[in-house]
Amino acid sequence: MASTSASLTLPVLPLDDEVVLPGMVVPLDLKDTEVRAAVEAARSAARSSVDSGKPQVLLVPRLDGSYAGVGTLATVEQVGRLADGEPAALVRAVRRVRIGAGTTGPGAALWVETTPFKESAVAVPLTGRSAELVKEYKAVATEWLRKRGAWQIVDRVAAIEGVGELADNIGYAPFVSAEQKLKALLEADQVARLEYALQLMKDHLAEEEVNDTIRKDVEEGVAKQQKEFLLRRQLEAVRKELAELNGESASEEDDYRARVEAAELPEKVREAALKEVEKLERSSDQSPEGSWIRTWLDTVLELPWNNRSEDAYDIAGARAVLDADHAGLSDVKDRIVEYLAVRKRRADQGLTLIGGRRGGAVLALVGPPGVGKTSLGESVARAMGRDFVRVALGGVRDEAEIRGHRRTYVGALPGRIVRAIKEAGSMNPVVLLDEIDKVGSDYRGDPAAALLEVLDPAQNHTFRDHYLEVELDLSDVVFLATANVLEAIPEPLLDRMELVRLDGYTEDEKVVIARDHLLPRQLERAGLSAETVTVTEAALRKLAGEYTREAGVRTLERSVARILRKVAAQSELGQRELPTTVDTADLRGLIGRPHHTPEAAQEPAERRTAVPGVATGLAVTGAGGDVLYIEASLADAETGSTGLTLTGQLGDVMKESAHIALSFLRSRGAELELPVTGLRERGIHLHVPAGAVPKDGPSAGITMTTALASLLSGRKVRTDVAMTGEVSLTGRVLPIGGVKQKLLAADRAGITTVIIPKRNEPDLDDVPAEVLERLTVHPLSDVREVLALALEPAEVLVAGAAA
């Protein structure tokens, strides 16, 4: 009955959804009736058997209720109780058997006949493929067992030698399903079975690996988040503590979300700001991005989004303010008042835009330094009841200065316009664009183009600063501009401006300004008062006329300040008793000798035009009108040079004037009884002193002609005469600009006779009457008349001068 080769009759022990492969030792639950019946039947059969072998059962897998055709013959090793007292039997699966027909036997069990299961070979030789498989399976199985810490089992698996036995070992693997085990049970070819087992093992390991990495990733991610959270909390605590140590409440400052929510920002700006706050909260505290965002948020929060000054002025009141701040300048004030009146009317009618493209939305004050352009701007703000800011544009070459840097730049800042609004503290201040004629442009872009956008009423209600990136409404800002030189203002900007000229002051005007404005201000600064110190009008006049020579009053103001400082020092040192009076005679003792003596007041030998070949011209420079001397000389005949040499940094137009003057004298000199032969044979040198200052323009034409004629004729030019005018080849005197400034300059220099082009006669209306009273003005149209008037009579010819 116990033969291995012959057929056997065995009690069936059905295994529900379980497969036991040969070689496995498994415990079975004896409370299960089928199990108990089979075990008891086997035991009673064994007892009655002659060869006292162990009781044998047939383990038959029953998957989904149906029996497999192959089972395992198992020996019952032990029957007893488990640690928890449950009855159990330990069985050892021995080999595969094929199940045959049912039969009868002892006990309640079902008995079947079995036949041997044909394995491909009883022992597969370990060569080639099978040896490799064995090696690989053992390696893979070891790896898996090691990972689970099952070290004892590792050795056991290593000791298995047979191919089939090794394959059956897969039966222990918890990850192998009953179906897969059944497949292994049914496989007759041992090599194929081992291949199958290896495959199952490998698939599982691969799956585990993927699961591992996923788990690890998840675990790591969670750990990092937790760590960051904890660190942040700690950092916050440290910061708070530090702040408390320093006695500040820094945490509130840092709570940008709360600050943005509390600030009254326009909707769009609030959205943009909250977006940045979110970014900030996500970024780490030390990251550079975090600090950029904070700076940006600070800028946005500091802008006076909802702050506007009410325009509660009336025009008469505005005029009163302008009058109180500045003496004279009545036509300038008229223009400003007109501008304000128009602005007010339009605002009252709900029209926000002032002027059109050519209407001049911007008032530009043009004139030499120190005539009060900046302070007029301040007065306009005061008159309108608005805040005032000055934006210095001198030397600005970078477009980003106006419009800001993009935020990606290190150290990016908003542009000057945004900074000005911030500084002003309201959204509708008076912004003075100072020195708009000094903006340059180079590879960094064109600041003038950015200014255009700022000044253009059609565009400036949505001004976009590169840094700020949110729109700013500049349409209610009052822009004023100042410039020294009209010609230097970029053309497109000029197009949008309404020009107001300030040409400089006469001596009388300066005295009034000094008396009513400069003196009181400087007295206060020096800690003195009108009661203690009196400066006489005569002293002020001398200061204006002999100590300063300027179109404006800046140096005059400085001189007054110097005098008052000296007086204050003297009184402190006990050298002067207060109250005191400063008169003309005191000036020399206080601030030294005068720097400018009028030409007319100088000794004849000191005068510049004391020799033939020097003529007095009039010019307009960035500093106002000025007197300039043109000198001519003839080169020695022997040097052989016959050309015209020009020095004194003359511009192209001025050089052409010199050539025209020379050509005129060459062709017409004979008519004027000039010895023109000298002109042909000898080189001529024309120089305009103050050689370092660049000069240009055609208005020195008649002066050059006069200097040359004087040189040739040997007749000196009259000391009291100055002139201005362009000359043509035929000797006509053509009109020029800047008559008022030039006449004021001539007056300052002590000149009494001035020659101007006939066609400039209407300009005399602008010249203050008191100046015209002192000057004799000759409007002439022909250069021959000029020469007749300017050159001294021939009798005073200096011997040999014309040689």
Ligand X SMILES: Nc1ncnc2c1ncn2[C@@H]1O[C@H](COP(=O)(O)OP(=O)(O)OP(=O)(O)O)[C@@H](O)[C@H]1O
Return the closest-CA partner of residue 625 out of 544, 717, 549.
Answer: 549
The residue (of 326 and 386) whose beta carbon lies closer to ligand X is 326
Q: Which amino acid type is present at position 318?
A: A
370 is in an annotated binding site: yes
Nearest alpha-carbon partner for 648 in 668, 671, 632: 632
Is 717 annotated as a binding-site member? no
For ligand X, give the closer residue by CB, 331 or 656: 331
373 in a labelled binding site: yes
Is 372 annotated in a binding site? The answer is yes
Cβ pair 72, 98 in contact under 8 A:
no
**Residue 708 class from Cβ within 10 Å (0-12 exposed, 13-18 middle, 19+ buried)?**
buried
Instruction: CB nearer to ligand X: give 293 or 329.
Output: 329
Q: In the complex with ligand X, which residue's Cβ is closer, 386 or 517?
A: 517
Q: Are 61 and 49 within 8 A, CB to CB? A: no
- Cβ 524 to ligand X shortest distance, Å: 13
Residue 623, φ and ψ in degrees, nearest 5: -100, 15
Residue 612 marked in a binding site:
no
Query: Cβ 334 to ligand X, closest distance in Å?
Result: 14
Nearest distance from residue 331's CB to ligand X, in Å? 12
What letter would DSSP give residue 505? Answer: -
Instruction: Indicate the residue whose CB is closest to ligand X.
Output: 372
CA distances from 637 to 149, 429, 598, 658, 678 (A): 119, 68, 37, 21, 9
CA distance 551 to 382: 26
User: Number of helices (H) and strands (E), helices first, in the chain?
Assistant: 28, 25
Note the residues at the interface with ligand X (CB under 6 A). 326-329, 369-375, 482, 484, 513, 517, 552-554, 557
Diameter of the chain by CA atoms? 176
State the nearest-atom distance from the C-beta of 557 to ligand X, in Å: 6
Q: How far is CA 697 from each of CA 491, 620, 650, 735, rounded to the nearest angstrom?
A: 19, 10, 9, 12
- What is residue 251's three-state secondary structure? helix
Q: Which of 309, 379, 699, 710 is catalytic?
A: 699
Is 622 a known ligand-binding residue? no
699 counts as catalytic: yes
Helices 416-424 and 288-302 pack at an angle, to 10 degrees, of: 50
Distance CA 604, CA 601 (A): 9
User: Taking the complex as a whole, how short is the minimal distance between the CB of residue 572 and ligand X, in angstroms?
Assistant: 26
Nearest by Cα to 735 from 689, 702, 693: 702
Closest C-alpha to 91, from 11, 25, 29, 149: 25
Question: Minimum CB separation from ligand X for residue 559, in Å?
Answer: 12
Q: Are strands 580-582 and 733-734 parallel, antiparallel or unpaired?
A: unpaired
Residue whose CB is less far from ligand X, 137 or 505: 505
By C-beta, is 168 or 325 nearer to ligand X?
325
Kindly state the smallest distance separating residue 432's Cβ from ligand X, in Å. 9
Question: Is 740 among the residues known to form the active site?
Answer: no
| Residue among 432 and 786 whose Cβ is closer to ligand X | 432
**Residue list, annotated binding site:** 367-374
Q: What residues are labeled active site? A: 699, 742
Cite the annotated binding site for ATP by residue number: 367-374
